[in-house]
């Protein structure tokens, strides 16, 4: 065996090892970014559940004072149901936009009932809802940041090639339709 052959073998084996190392590194970083995004999604989910749990209470309280607003209340309940059943990030985002809208009209309605506004239970629910909604906004911010990092990793070279091989797909952002819906709903007592 000549020296040249040995050198060749070393170079080839070394090259393969380096490439394998790079691939493994990228693969691991993609997995960990994906897990981070999933975890961030879970944070949003926790806050959304909190809001879903609160809504039946809120609806019951409003019903006690405003019996004639059946239509508004039913819309809220329907929107909540859609939100709970949502499967994908996109569906969830749409459902949340709808729910936020219906809640807004519920608050508009409640303006007409001074007794309801004076109710201690109602005002505590509102306070809690405000807190949850700003937490949803924060969780959404963290989720979108994380998704952006993941998407950038799998869309830039050489991550894009590896993403194709290992089947990593671009994740959806959790988007809010209108700028007014970004902040917590402002309620005057």
Partner 1 sequence: MYENIAKNRAKTAFIIMGFIFFISLIGYFIGFYFDYSYGYGNSYSITLLIFALIIALAASFGSYYFSDRIVLSIAGARPVSKEDNPRVYYMVEGLSIAAGIPEPKIYEIPDKGMNAFATGRNPGKGVIVLTRGIIEGLSDEELKGVISHELAHIKNYDILLGTVVVVFVGMISIVANIMGRMLLFGGRGRRSSKNSSGGGIITLVLLVIGIVFILISPLIAMIIRMALSRNREYLADSTGALISRYPAGLANALRKIKENSEIRSANGATAHLFISNPLGKSSVVMFKNLFNTHPPIEERIRRLDEMSLGVGVK
Q: What residues between 146 and 185 interact with partner 1 by CB under 8 A?
A: 146
Count other Cβ atoms within 10 Å, centred on residue 124.
12
- What's the token pair of residue 105? 């009209």
| Min CB(139)–partner 1 separation in Å | 5
Q: How many angstroms separate the CA atoms of 43 and 38, rounded?
A: 9
**For partner 1, which is the closer residue by CB, 76 or 139?**
139
**For partner 1, which is the closer residue by CB, 34 or 75?**
34
| Min CB(135)–partner 1 separation in Å | 5
**For partner 1, which is the closer residue by CB, 112 or 182?**
182
CA nearest neighbour of 136 among 54, 34, 33: 54
Interface with partner 1: number of residues (CB under 8 A): 14
- Binding-residue pattern over the window 115 to 144 for partner 1, x denoting contact by CB under 8 A: ----------------x--xx-xxx-xx--
| Min CB(184)–partner 1 separation in Å | 10
Is 100 among the residues that bind partner 1 (CB under 8 A)?
no
Is 40 among the residues that bind partner 1 (CB under 8 A)?
yes
Q: What residues between 42 and 81 interact with partner 1 by CB under 8 A?
A: 43, 47
**For partner 1, which is the closer residue by CB, 43 or 57?**
43
| Min CB(96)–partner 1 separation in Å | 16
Q: Which residues bind partner 1 (CB under 8 A)?
A: 36, 40, 43, 47, 131, 134-135, 137-139, 141-142, 145-146
């Amino acid at each position: 065996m000549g020296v040249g052959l040995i050198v060749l073998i070393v170079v080839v084996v070394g090259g393969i090892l380096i490439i394998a190392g790079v691939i493994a590194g990228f693969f691991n970083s993609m997995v960990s970014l994906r897990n981070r995004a999933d975890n961030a999604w879970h944070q949003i989910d926790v806050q959304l559940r909190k809001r879903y749990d609160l809504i039946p209470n809120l609806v019951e309280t409003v019903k006690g004072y405003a019996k004639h607003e059946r239509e508004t209340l039913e819309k809220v309940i329907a929107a909540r149901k859609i939100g709970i059943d949502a499967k994908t990030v996109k569906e969830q985002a749409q459902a949340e936009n709808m729910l936020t809208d219906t809640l807004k009209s519920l608050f508009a309605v409640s303006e007409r009932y001074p007794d309801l506004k004076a109710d201690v239970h109602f005002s505590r629910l509102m306070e809690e809802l405000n807190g949850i909604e700003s937490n949803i906004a924060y969780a959404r911010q963290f989720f979108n940041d994380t998704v952006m990092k993941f998407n950038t990793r799998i869309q830039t070279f050489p991550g894009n090639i590896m993403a194709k091989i290992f089947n990593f797909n671009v994740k959806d952002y959790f988007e809010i339709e209108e700028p007014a819906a970004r902040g917590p709903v402002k309620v005057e007592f």
